[in-house]
Amino acid sequence: MRRFVTFTSDFGTRDSYVASVKLRILAGDPHCEVIDVTHEIPPFSPALALPPLIDIARVSPPGTTHLCIVDPGVGSPRKALAGEGGGFYFILPDNGLAALLSKWMDDLVFYDLHDPEIFGGEATPTFQGRDLFAPAVVALTSGKFAPKDLGPRMSPGALAPCTDEGNEKDSRLTVWNIDHFGNILLDYFTLLPPETVEITHDGRLIPYVRRYQDVPRGSLGCLVNSSGWLEIFCREGSASRSTGMGVGQRLGARIEGGSGRRL
């Protein structure tokens, strides 16, 4: 049976970091397949890794291991974690992302990788993606270990809180990604499509529509994309370039009807 590993990080692709982690995994378990989700998470921003992790888990087969390394605390006393729930396994640092993920997925359980030597890892000071997290992935995909074999169970209250998540009292939406096409992805996940979404740019209301083709070429629009996220787009153009908006920027929005949740 083929075993899948998804890999999300803030490593970028100009250096050897991603290849080093993948080769460490494949050397330990050549029968698994490592799938890159993205390595362009803004550096040191664990909360911004949550949406792509949620999206990829939604289409992953049971038994997939999700490796997510956005780790501003590498080399510090922060814990490393193995988790399971929803039919998946998770390997990630305890820097707030696990606590956020627990709010979006039911029945997640995490274990403290307190002794990497158990599974052939090493808590090196700067590249724990390769030296600690990759061997932990192999421990799971090879079938030699279950998450509970890798360390003591963490109580939900012991997980580190996320320090860069949005402020619940702030009604503005946050840009969590600018995709390849320049679409602006906002931190509102739709459960039931809204009746009205009002977002303005340069004093003008951005139309809320169902399809890209519902606005003229070169014009801005807003819709719920196929993954459920609220998105600002420019038909056959770049909404980011047109508006000057970037990741982390916040903008006012009024949403009426439907239902959804924010990060």
Long-range contacts of 140-145 (CB under 8 A, 24+ apart): 140/65, 140/82, 140/89, 140/91, 141/3, 141/5, 141/25, 141/29, 141/31, 141/32, 141/65, 142/28, 142/29, 144/119, 145/118, 145/119
151 in Cβ contact with 145 (< 8 Å): no
Give the three-class secondary structure for 258.
coil
User: Are 137 and 205 in the same domain?
Assistant: no
Give the three-class secondary structure for 90.
strand
User: For the chain, what is the domain count?
Assistant: 2
Average pLDDT of the segment spanning 38-52: 95
User: Are 95 and 61 in the same domain?
Assistant: yes
Asked whether the predicted pLDDT for residue 170 surpasses 70, the reply is: no
Chain centroid to Cα 8, Å, comes to: 7
Number of separate helices (H) and strands (E) present in the chain: 6, 16
Average pLDDT of the segment spanning 131-135: 98
Average pLDDT of the segment spanning 77-87: 96
- Its domain, for residue 111, covers 3-158
Whether residue 71 lies inside any domain: the answer is yes
Average pLDDT of the segment spanning 28-46: 96
Question: Residue 118 sits in a domain of what CATH number?
Answer: 3.40.50.10790
Determine phi and psi for 55, rounding to 5 degrees: -60, -45
User: pLDDT digits over 105-120, tens only?
Assistant: 989 999 999 999 999 9
Average pLDDT of the segment spanning 253-263: 94
User: pLDDT digits over 182-225, tens only?
Assistant: 999 999 999 999 999 999 988 899 999 999 999 999 999 999 99
DSSP notation for 170-214: --SEEEEEE-TT--EEEEEEEEE--SEEEEEETTEEEPB-SSGGG
Asked whether the predicted pLDDT for residue 169 surpasses 80, the reply is: no
Q: What is the mean pLDDT of the chain?
A: 95
For the chain, the distance separating the N- and C-terminal CA atoms, rounded to the nearest angstrom, is: 35
pTM of the shown model = 0.93
Asked whether the predicted pLDDT for residue 167 surpasses 70, the reply is: no
Asked whether the predicted pLDDT for residue 166 surpasses 90, the reply is: no
User: Are 107 and 201 in the same domain?
Assistant: no
Average pLDDT of the segment spanning 137-163: 95
Asked whether the predicted pLDDT for residue 165 surpasses 90, the reply is: no
Whether residue 168 lies inside any domain: the answer is no
